[in-house]
Structure 1
């Protein structure tokens, strides 16, 4: 893993380069010489925070329309008619 440090000005001029660098490791973005932001891949963020993808996030991914999954049925005791009173 490589760590990259760039200025906010460099980031504004070459976002593509920063994104490529983030594939190899964290990119520290400095403001007036001090680190202010860190750019990393979503996978690395999830690994660090222990978060897993949820269904809503999966459905917004490109190609999600091709995902097939089964929705399990709930036991009958959970279903009840709607009360509109």
Structure 2
């Protein structure tokens, strides 16, 4: 993990650089030499906050169309629900 520190001025002038750096680790943004904000990748944010991806997000990732899914065919029907 790479930690990057940028002044708020440098962040404003080149946000693209900060976004690329956030993919490798946290980016600390400073004001007058003191850290005031941290930029994280969405994956790292979700890991830290315990949020899980939704099924839609998981299935919308590039390259999933190349994965073969073999679903066995069966004639077994589900049992009827017992509502007594």
TM-score w.r.t. the length of structure 1 is 0.62
1:40 equivalent in alignment to 2:40: yes
Aligned length: 62
Partner of 1:22: 22
Q: After TM superposition, which residue ranges in structure 1, 4 or more long, deviate above 4 angstroms?
A: none
1:2 equivalent in alignment to 2:8: no
Structure 1: gaps of 5 or more residues: 62-74, 76-85
Partner of 1:78: none
TM-score w.r.t. the length of structure 2 is 0.63
Deviation at 1:53, TM superposition (A): 2.9
